[in-house]
């Protein structure tokens, strides 16, 4: 299978690291599904990325959204679980339990839900790959003490 007929889905691809990952996958010759929970943001990012990019409306915390998105994809060669949030952005001593619940819903349960939703499409690929992205905000050490990100 040549790179030109391989397809990747990048969640949270409308900005930041996800956008850059999408750009690099396009440069490598893959078709890229630009996953975004806001349709207009996904469409705008796809337009900026250019040929080979297509928006896919996907909210990793919404089962209906995941089901609809998965139905749009026949075969998937690369799944990049990139969508993530850091509500509040404070260290652990100032982060509310509700903020942590929102973060876990997106960053942990969302990753599992997306992977499960797209397993059928991944299984139709000759060489499927799953890439899970994380950040320093996932570090308990950094969130409970000195964080080198903020030095």
Q: How confident is the model at residue 107 (pLDDT cuts 50, 70, 90)?
A: very high
Report the alpha-carbon distance of residue 149 to residue 89 in Å, rounded: 12
Mean pLDDT of the chain: 90
What residues contact 119, with CB distance under 8 A and at least 6 apart?
none
Instruction: Give the mean pLDDT of 89-113.
Output: 88
CA 104, 110, 115, 117 torsion-angle sign: positive
| Residue 149: per-residue pLDDT | 57
At 151, the pLDDT band (50, 70, 90 cuts) reads low
Confidence at residue 28, expressed as pLDDT on a 0 to 100 scale: 97
Sign of CA dihedral 126, 7, 111, 132: positive
Give residues with Cβ within 8 angstroms of 113, minimum separation 6. 60, 61, 63, 66
Task: Quick: pLDDT tens for 12-33.
Answer: 999 999 999 999 999 999 999 9
Superfamily, domain 3-140: NAD(P)-binding Rossmann-like Domain (3.40.50.720)
Query: How many whole angstroms separate alpha carbon 132 and alpha carbon 29?
Result: 21
Asked whether residue 4 carries a pLDDT value surpassing 60, the answer given is no
60: exposed, middle or buried (C-beta count within 10 Å: 0-12, 13-18, 19+)? buried
Encode pLDDT of 52-83 as tens digits.
999 999 999 999 999 999 999 999 999 999 99
pTM: 0.87
**HSE-CB of 67 using CA atoms within 13 angstroms:** 3
Q: What percent of the chain has pLDDT over 70?
A: 85
User: Pick the residue with more confidence: 85 or 138?
Assistant: 85
């Amino acid at each position: 299978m040549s790179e030109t007929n391989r397809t990747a889905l990048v969640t949270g691809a409308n900005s930041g690291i996800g956008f850059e990952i999408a750009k690099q996958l396009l440069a490598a010759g893959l078709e890229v599904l630009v996953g975004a929970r806001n349709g207009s943001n996904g469409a705008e990012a796809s337009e900026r990325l250019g040929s080979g990019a297509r928006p896919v409306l996907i909210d990793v915390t919404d089962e209906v959204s995941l089901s609809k998105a998965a139905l749009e994809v026949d075969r998937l060669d690369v799944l990049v679980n990139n969508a993530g949030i850091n509500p509040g952005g404070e260290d652990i001593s100032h982060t509310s339990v509700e903020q942590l619940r929102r973060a876990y819903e997106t960053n942990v349960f969302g990753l599992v839900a997306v992977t499960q939703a797209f397993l059928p499409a991944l299984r139709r690929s000759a060489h499927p790959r799953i890439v899970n992205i994380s950040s320093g905000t996932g570090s308990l050490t950094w969130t409970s003490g000195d964080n080198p990100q903020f030095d």
